[in-house]
Amino acid sequence: MANRLTARKVETAKPGKYSDGGNLYLIVSGTGARKWVLRFTWRGRAKEMGLGSAASVPLADAREKAASARRKIAQGLNPIEERKRDGGIPTFGETADDVREALSAGFRNEKHKAQWKSTLETYAAPLRTKPVDTITTDDVLAVLKPIWTTKAETASRVRGRIEKVLDAAKAKGFRDGENPARWRGHLDHLLPKPSKLARGHHPALPYEEVATFIADLRQREATAALALELCILTAARSGEVLGMQWSEIDFDKKIWTVPAERMKAGREHRIPLSTRAIAILRQLEKLKAGNFVFAGQARNRPLSNMAMEMVLRRMKIEDATVHGFRSSFRDWAGNVSNFPREITETALAHVIGDKAEQAYRRSDALEKRRKLMEAWASYCEPKKAGNIIQIGRRARA
């Protein structure tokens, strides 16, 4: 058969539909996800039978699965129903992987896609090897109860993702009956309501103590210490700072532009840089090595995501986290400054209002935020001149 697929073609095919003959198709989505589908007619109606992800089912295995299904059709049997009777039900793990690939086009970024995968692999691990049609309410509760009150937000996400996987299994004919992970009218009778659970908050240093903290921080000759100070001054998330690249910095306009794929909201975010923030970047520019501003030990890799937390530990700061400095900034802005709340929320890269309001709010109020961030930097500046770091001092990782 001249037009049959090759293993190389399966790996490199661009988005589209590719025939291997005999109604076996490779479907490649816009995100690059690849799956096998057998198309056939059953009692006058077109049917599609999924044969798995091309990432886990090689071409030869897909052909064998398709050939087996065609033999059943020739015998007057529906291969989808026969697969259920033959015990050919996929596991929860297989179904979860397929659902994740199918939904990946709608994910905000690669980080969201990775989180979707990691939460199910970590917390729903006991379910992964179970046939998807055998999962019960007790199975779901066994996964959720250990984290329901200690990791409330994570547990809520895990429950929702399990529900989605089991809904997909039912839609494909692998399950019957109600979804055991459904909240309303089911698990809400067996678990405390999420709204009543204690949400995890990041401990924050009181804003009144930030200047004193920075004075101590500047005594530490380390790249991670400079990263932490910049993180505080920009009110950015630690991952945004550690992933900062030189190409994102406009020194002339004093703007740091964080690309959408590195933002939690999946939208590009411009951050006005205060005078002190620019000074930190100029210091690091003299030591420039590779694409990352805060370069790590490995070639062209940033500092570890624990680098700034380790600075806090070495400074014996036990009642604050790196992320908590965003709360310090917010509290200062609300209690001390006269800047409007929406300017502060925009500085924190929070989504403001509903979709209609967001559509009209096209400006990111950059210049208003510039005044805010300069005021914050001034507030954070240690009062004793002796605590100011020498810009020419070499930073060490």
Per CATH, the architecture of 93-196 is what?
A: Orthogonal Bundle (1.10)
Secondary structure string (H, E, C) spanning 113-167: HHHHHHHHHHHCHHHCCCECCCCCHHHHHHHHHHHHCCCHHHHHHHHHHHHHHHH
Provide the sign of the torsion angle of the four alpha carbons 265, 268, 274, 277, taken in this order.
Answer: positive
- CATH 1.10.443.10 segments of the chain: 207-387
CA-based nearest residue to 239, from 222, 269, 223, 262: 262
| Res. 86 pLDDT band, cuts 50 70 90 | low
Distance CA 3, CA 323 (A): 55
Per CATH, the architecture of 7-88 is what?
A: 2-Layer Sandwich (3.30)
Could you report the per-residue pLDDT of 346-388, keeping only the tens digit for each?
999 886 654 444 443 456 789 999 999 999 999 999 986 544 4
Report whether 117 contacts 80 (CB < 8 A). Answer: no
pLDDT at 346: 92
pLDDT at 102: 80
| Res. 171 pLDDT band, cuts 50 70 90 | confident
Higher pLDDT, 210 or 120: 210
Could you report the per-residue pLDDT of 239-250, keeping only the tens digit for each?
999 999 999 999
pLDDT at 142: 94
Domain 207-387: state its class.
Answer: mainly alpha
pLDDT at 354: 44
pLDDT at 56: 78
Share the mean pLDDT of the chain.
Answer: 85
- CATH 3.30.160.390 segments of the chain: 7-88
Could you report the per-residue pLDDT of 121-131, keeping only the tens digit for each?
889 999 988 88
- CATH 1.10.150.130 segments of the chain: 93-196
| Res. 195 pLDDT band, cuts 50 70 90 | low
Could you report the per-residue pLDDT of 45-73, keeping only the tens digit for each?
888 888 888 887 899 999 999 998 999 89
